[in-house]
């Protein structure tokens, strides 16, 4: 199998190319698709290659555009809607939560909204509270809506393809902070989204680190540092956060008996809490040797000023520090 | 096309527009079918009212008695490959396309034999084979879905059209504006049908909007529009035909405002009472604009329909409805497994 090196952004682009070339029922609609600045290098040239009838740059109408994609999906198409900032997608919530996610169930499985909503997390750079949110936990709460968060170039490409081909409504969340990450990727093989889930991307024995999207990459950096300090971390990249498959996380924690969850969302009712709760429910009470830890954003909107931003967003150093405390303490000893 | 965005004027006056319908341009056959369909819709909704009073139906039923002519007039021009979306008051939209009466009854009774397999109830109707793509009660939510169906129809290139039904209240949601703009900008084959019955639950349009005309929004988006007497099936049929033909020819969206009135309260079987609002006097006047009676009368005057034939048709419809109800009541409830099995696309299907 020949591999090639792709950045995350290029990998998304290649996923789009693959879908548009092989599936005439795929089209893309959203804001900024004909211009480079909204979506980085992830869609460059698609409108020229596939025509502006299949790559549709839209009015500033998140709700109607998302609804139109859902409507077209009910008529046999597999549209991808692009929301260049997840914050803007909130205006389309009715169509995602009330319509697409419910369609199969409320009509007795006779129709499915085979729509993919691509939502981009784009934060930092002093863009402030309304250009920064990672709201995956909100949407992962909704039965009927699959939520996918690729952390690597290969997943960015392959899970995009799997999302569009899944037949279900899928929220595919990619992150601008990942776009330059490079990886050797294998040739495309179509995957079944139903069976894709969390994956061990690094094996280790002392502590389980769970992350998704950009947080996974921070875990990778942190694990490298921790290894130098004699702590061996196992990393689980969640990849698909709804429906969430727990098997890999459970077996990893059964091995390491320590759990640290890193999440780019907030803590309240969030993904990190969900992982910890799931482990508490699904394993023996005596399994964990240390109180589990979650690393999330402070419970505050994203600030604008640079110095505040650098406190607000955790770095791999913060993960290193959290894991060092975790591995040195026993259950109940950990403060916070 | 005529444009009356300055307000509905006489069309809003129940004392006017109650004359005999002008049917001379129409085929006897079509008119008879329309009459029958209106009787079926009315009969079915009366049956639902009865079932609710009897305590057999628990789900909220928004009855459209009095509004039958709109769906019947529009549907006369549709084919099964067109795509129609409804809302919370959509029994007529579903039935007028030929949707099964038993399927409706069974659905409302929560039976697996229902048109949505017993998963939807009155507010979630579906009949894909006849082009009824679904109705949902989030006000205005299906408007963009119809735009998307129009986009799909345009991409398919087979001259199909999409229809979105909604009420005057839905025009107060921002998504109508986004959807009209999108359909207009992309020149999509969409027919927006507003059933303006003056009420959104308990509140009269005069307390909700600065004008009683909804077509004014279409005007703002350069969408051709007509305002018709929604209790005149022939007027609705004609206007819808013009609009649907334009869409089939690739000439883009249109907007039909059909002025009508519902005889029951916002939800449930009670006559007239709208969450605290009684409209007796207006309702009595609006009954003078009864769409069914007006068509039957016109047909009788033209000699298209004898009094005996009319009673015979009424009797047939009523027998048919009663039989459908009895069958529907015998349906099973959905299997418990449906609860989880239907959340995602089924595993046994191709992907
Ligand atoms: C988004 C939303 N807001 C409020 C409601 C409650 N609601 C149900 S029907 C209705 C009135 C709608 O009026 P209209 O669109 O004119 O339709 P009609 O009932 O007259 O047929 C309202 C407010 C709802 N279902 N959805």
A173-195 confidence digits (pLDDT tens): 999 999 999 999 999 999 999 99
**pLDDT higher than 60, residue A303:** yes
d(CA B334, CA B328) in angstroms, rounded, equals: 13
How near does any CA of chain B get to the CA of A73, in Å? Answer: 8
- B233 to B73, B74, B93, B228, B264: CA distances (angstroms): 5, 9, 14, 10, 20
Pocket test for ligand 1, best of B144, B169, B206 (most atoms within 8 A of CB): B169
Phi first, then psi: give them for residue B151, nearest 5 degrees: -60, -45
Token pair recorded at residue A72: 């077209």
User: How many Cα atoms within 13 Å fall on the side-chain side of residue B271?
Assistant: 6
What does the pLDDT average to over B10-33?
Answer: 93
- Looking at every residue in chain B, the average pLDDT score rounds to 95
Q: Is A105 a catalytic residue?
A: no
B123 lines ligand 1 (CB under 6 A): no
**CA distance to A41, B205, B226, per residue, from B213 (Å):** 47, 9, 11
Please return the burial class of B328, using the count of CB atoms within 10 Å of its CB with bins 0-12, 13-18 and 19+. buried
Measured CA angle at A239 (ends A42, A5), to 5 deg? 45
Q: Per-residue pLDDT averaged across B204-232, rounded?
A: 97
Query: What is the C-alpha separation between A49 and A34, in angstroms, rounded?
Result: 11
- pLDDT of B305 > 80? The answer is yes
Token pair 């007795």 in the structure block, residue: A108
Whole-number pLDDT of residue A332: 64
**Residue B91 Cβ contacting ligand 1 at under 6 Å:** no
Chain segment B225-284, per-residue pLDDT in tens: 999 999 999 999 999 999 999 999 999 999 999 999 999 999 999 988 878 888 999 999
Confidence of residue A137 (pLDDT cuts 50, 70, 90): very high
CA atoms within a 13 Å half-sphere pointing along the CA-CB vector of A320: 14
* Stretch A89-115: mean pLDDT: 98
Contact call for residues A115 and A165 (beta carbons, < 8 A): no
Residue B1 pLDDT exceeds 70? no
The per-residue pLDDT for range A153-174, each reduced to its tens digit, is: 999 999 999 999 999 999 999 9
Q: Do B351 and A166 touch (CB under 8 A)?
A: yes
Percentages helix, strand, coil for chain B, rounded to the nearest 5?
45, 10, 45
Q: B322-346, pLDDT tens digit by residue?
A: 999 999 999 999 999 999 999 998 7
pLDDT band at B348 (very low <50, low <70, confident <90, very high): low
Q: What is the pLDDT of residue A151?
A: 98
What are the chain B neighbours of A191 within 8 Å (beta carbons)? none
Which residues on neighbouring strands pair with residue B22, listed in sequence order? none
Provide the pLDDT for residue B3: 47
Instruction: Enumerate the residues of chain B whose CB falls inside 8 A of the CB of residue A61.
Output: 178-179, 181-182
Res. B193: pLDDT tops 80: yes
Q: What is the pLDDT of residues B42-87, one digit of tens each?
A: 999 999 999 999 999 999 999 999 999 999 999 999 999 999 999 9
Q: What is the pLDDT of residues B284-296, one digit of tens each?
A: 999 999 999 999 9
Distance CA B42, CA B91 (A): 10
pLDDT attached to residue A2? 77
- A4-195 is a CATH 3.40.50.970 domain: yes
pLDDT recorded at residue B347: 60
% of chain A residues with pLDDT over 90: 93
By Cβ distance, the residue of B144, B150, B347 closest to A95 is: B144
Compute the count of residue pairs across chains A and B with CB atoms less than 8 Å apart: 160
**In chain A, where the domains are located:** 4-195, 199-328
Mean pLDDT over residues A2-31, rounded? 96
ipTM score of the complex?
0.92
Q: The domain A199-328: what is its CATH number?
A: 3.40.50.920
Instruction: Give residue B225's pLDDT.
Output: 98
Question: Mean pLDDT across the stretch A198-219?
Answer: 98
For chain A, what is the largest distance between any 2 Cα atoms, rounded to a whole number of angstroms? Answer: 61
- Across the interface, of A69, A77, A105, the residue whose CB is closest to B342 is A105
DSSP A156-204: HHHHHHHHHHSSS-EEEEEEGGGTT-EEEEPPP----GGG---EEEE--
Closest CA to A162 of A143, A190, A199: A190
B202 membership: H or E segment, kind and range: none
Q: For residue A15, what are its two tokens?
A: 């996923």
> Which residue of chain A comes nearest to B179, CA vs CA?
A64
Given the residues A83, A105, A112, A131, the one annotated as active site: A131
The shortest C-alpha distance from B227 to chain A (Å) reads 24
Percent of chain B past pLDDT 90, that is, above it, reads: 93
Fold match between domain A4-195 and domain A199-328: yes
Cα-Cα-Cα-Cα torsion B25, B29, B35, B37, nearest 10 degrees, comes to -130
**What is the tens place of the pLDDT at every residue in A267-278?**
999 999 999 999
Of B124, B181, B344, the CB nearest to A168: B344
Question: Minimal Cα distance from B118: which residue of A?
Answer: A108
The residue behind tokens 């009155």 is B122
Cβ–Cβ gap B134/A56 under 8 Å: no
**Å between A259 CA and nearest CA of chain B:** 30
Q: How far apart are CA B105 and CA B190, in angstroms?
A: 29
So what's the pLDDT on residue B2?
Answer: 47
Confidence of residue A333 (pLDDT cuts 50, 70, 90): low
Of all residues in chain A, the one with the smallest CA distance to B161 is A75
**What pTM was estimated for this model as a whole?**
0.95
């Amino acid at each position: 199998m020949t591999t090639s090196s792709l950045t995350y952004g290029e990998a998304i682009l290649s996923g789009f190319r693959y879908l548009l070339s092989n599936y005439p029922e795929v089209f893309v609609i959203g804001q900024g698709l004909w211009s480079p600045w909204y979506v980085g290098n992830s869609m460059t040239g698609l409108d020229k290659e596939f025509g502006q009838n299949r790559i549709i740059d839209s009015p500033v109408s998140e709700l109607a555009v998302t609804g139109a994609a859902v409507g077209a999906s009910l008529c046999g198409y597999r549209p991808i809607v692009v929301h260049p900032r997840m914050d803007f997608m909130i205006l389309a919530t009715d169509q995602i939560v009330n319509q697409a996610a419910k369609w199969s169930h409320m009509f007795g499985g006779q129709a499915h909204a085979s729509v993919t909503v691509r939502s981009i997390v784009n934060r930092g750079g002093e863009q402030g509270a309304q250009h920064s949110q990672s709201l995956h936990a909100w949407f992962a709460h909704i039965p009927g809506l699959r939520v996918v968060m690729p952390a690597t170039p290969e997943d960015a490409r392959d899970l995009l393809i799997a999302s569009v081909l899944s037949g279900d409504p899928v929220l595919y969340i990619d992150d601008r902070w990942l776009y330059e990450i490079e990886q050797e990727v294998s040739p495309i093989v179509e995957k079944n989204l139903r069976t894709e889930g969390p994956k061990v991307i690094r094996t280790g024995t002392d502590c389980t680190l769970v992350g998704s999207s950009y947080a996974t990459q921070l875990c990778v950096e942190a694990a490298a540092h921790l290894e130098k300090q004699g702590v061996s971390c196992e990393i689980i990249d969640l990849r698909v956060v709804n429906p969430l498959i727990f098997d890999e996380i459970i077996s990893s924690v059964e091995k390491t008996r320590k759990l640290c969850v890193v999440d780019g969302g907030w803590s309240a009712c969030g993904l990190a809490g969900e992982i910890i709760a799931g482990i508490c429910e699904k394993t023996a009470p005596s399994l964990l040797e240390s109180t589990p830890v979650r690393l999330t954003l402070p419970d505050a909107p994203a600030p604008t000023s640079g110095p505040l931003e650098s406190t607000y967003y955790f770095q791999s150093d913060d993960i290193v520090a959290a894991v060092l405390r975790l591995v040195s303490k026993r259950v109940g000893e950990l403060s916070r | 096309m005529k444009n009356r965005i300055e307000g509905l004027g006489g069309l809003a006056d129940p004392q006017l527009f109650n004359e005999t319908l002008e049917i001379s341009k129409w085929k006897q056959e079509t008119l008879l079918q329309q009459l029958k369909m209106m009787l079926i819709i009315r009969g079915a909704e009366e049956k639902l009212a009865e079932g609710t009073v009897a305590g057999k139906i628990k789900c909220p039923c928004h009855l459209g008695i009095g509004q039958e002519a709109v769906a019947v007039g529009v549907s006369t021009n549709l084919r099964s490959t067109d795509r129609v979306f409804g809302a919370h008051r959509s029994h007529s939209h579903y039935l007028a396309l030929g949707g099964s009466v038993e399927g409706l009854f069974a659905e409302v009774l929560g039976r697996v034999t229902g048109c949505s397999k017993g998963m939807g109830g009155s507010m979630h109707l579906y009949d894909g084979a006849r082009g009824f793509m679904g109705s949902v009660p989030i006000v205005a939510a299906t408007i963009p879905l119809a735009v998307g169906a129009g986009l799909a129809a345009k991409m398919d290139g087979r001259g199909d059209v999409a229809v979105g039904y909604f009420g005057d209240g839905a025009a107060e949601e921002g998504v109508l504006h986004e959807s009209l703009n999108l359909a207009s900008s992309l020149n999509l084959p969409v027919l927006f049908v507003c059933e303006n019955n003056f009420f959104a639950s308990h509140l009269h349009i005069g307390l909700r909007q600065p004008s009683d005309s909804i077509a004014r929004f279409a005007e703002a988006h350069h969408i051709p529009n007509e305002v018709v007497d929604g209790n005149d099936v022939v007027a609705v049929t004609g206007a819808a035909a013009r609009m649907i033909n334009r869409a089939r020819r690739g000439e883009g969206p249109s907007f039909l405002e059909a002025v009508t009135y519902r005889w029951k309260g916002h939800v449930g079987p009670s006559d007239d009472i709208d969450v605290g609002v009684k409209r007796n006097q207006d309702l009595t006047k609006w009954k003078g604009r009864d769409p069914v009676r007006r068509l039957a009368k016109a047909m009788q005057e033209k000699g298209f329909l004898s009094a005996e034939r009319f009673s015979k048709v009424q009797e047939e419809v009523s027998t048919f409805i009663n039989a459908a109800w009895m069958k529907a009541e015998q349906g099973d409830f959905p299997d418990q497994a449906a609860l989880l099995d239907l959340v995602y696309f089924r595993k046994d299907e191709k992907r």
